[in-house]
Amino acid sequence: MKRCLWHDPDTGNYYRVVGIGYIKQGWVPSVVYQSVNGGALISQPISEFVDGRFEALEVKPL
């Protein structure tokens, strides 16, 4: 998983991946991410996260 910002084109929001985890039912690998504005952590199956629902944005170092 790239260490960069991710954009959700449906909502227009930007997210930062916090880590990788598992969904307890079925032990499905998941992405744990959070809005760049803070708030709750969100978990979604990796297969759904990388199927085109989110776009990876390159981040250039300062």
Quote the pLDDT of residue 58.
72
- Say what the pLDDT of residue 60 is: 61
Q: With a cut of 70, say whether residue 61 has pLDDT above it.
A: no
Q: What global pTM score does this model have? A: 0.81
Residue 12, pLDDT score: 95
- Tens digit of each residue's pLDDT (9 = 90 or more) over 5-55: 899 999 999 999 999 999 999 999 999 999 999 899 999 999 999 999 999
Closest CA to 47 of 13, 7, 20: 20
Please say whether the dihedral angle defined by the alpha carbons of residues 26, 56, 51 and 15, taken in this order, is positive or negative.
Answer: positive
> What is the pLDDT, as a whole number, of residue 62?
57
